[in-house]
Amino acid sequence: MFFGLFRGAANRRLIDRLHSEIVAAGRDPVLFLVYGIGDDIDGRFESLALHAALVLRRLGLFPSPGPEIAQDLADALFRHFDVALREMGVADVGVPKRMKAIAEAFLGRANAYDRALREGHAALCAALSRNVYAGRRDADRLARYVEALDKRLAGATIAELIEGPIFAERPEEGNDAT
């Protein structure tokens, strides 16, 4: 039913929009100012990886064409990482090695967040603390944000994700948020 939407220019527009929304959500100043994610290259990677992992996780749970869209989106994300490395001045010979490290880090986080979301709040806090805060900070508040965002994505249909926006507003993290 949706396959006609995912060919040629229409697919590029969809993937570009999804990618742009993930980047914008990952760059939301609130994540750095309120949630304490480091406002540096590592923190920005962590924030982008977190938002991308959640969207890719949801797309992957849909029947076709969800997984195909997820793959195209993942490809776009990695093209973005490649361009960013080159813009940072990484030499052409160093890009493949860095891309391999980025891919391993991204996939490791995506798997860790997927597993943690299935295991519960404590597991998610541990995964976020380890990855986003390098073990130096409690991740309870960020975990509540991620759980709320994941819940919102879980309630979305593929049509809603295709039509967008996917991050219309920041999710409520619960009444006990500080």
Buried b / exposed e across 158-172, counting CB within 10 Å, b at 16+? beebbeeebbeeebe
pLDDT digits (tens, 9 = 90+) for 80-95: 999 999 999 989 898 9
52-79 tens-digit pLDDT: 999 999 999 999 999 999 999 999 999 9
Residue ranges, the chain, pLDDT below 70: 1-9, 170, 172-178
Q: Which amino acid is at 96?
A: P
- The dihedral through the CA atoms of 143, 144, 146, 150 has a sign that is positive
Does the pTM exceed 0.85? Answer: yes
> What is the end-to-end Cα distance of the chain in Å, rounded?
44
The predicted pLDDT at position 168 comes to 75
- Sequence-distant (6+) residues with CB within 8 A of 74 are 52, 56
Task: Report the pLDDT value the prediction gives residue 112, as an integer from 0 to 100.
Answer: 98
The C-alpha atoms of residue 177 and residue 114 are separated, in whole angstroms, by 23
Output the average pLDDT for the chain: 91
Cα angle vertex 2, ends 109, 165, to 5°? 55
- Cβ atoms of 28 and 170 within 8 Å: the answer is yes
Output the pLDDT for position 178: 36
Closest CA relative to residue 132, chosen from 47, 32, 31: 47
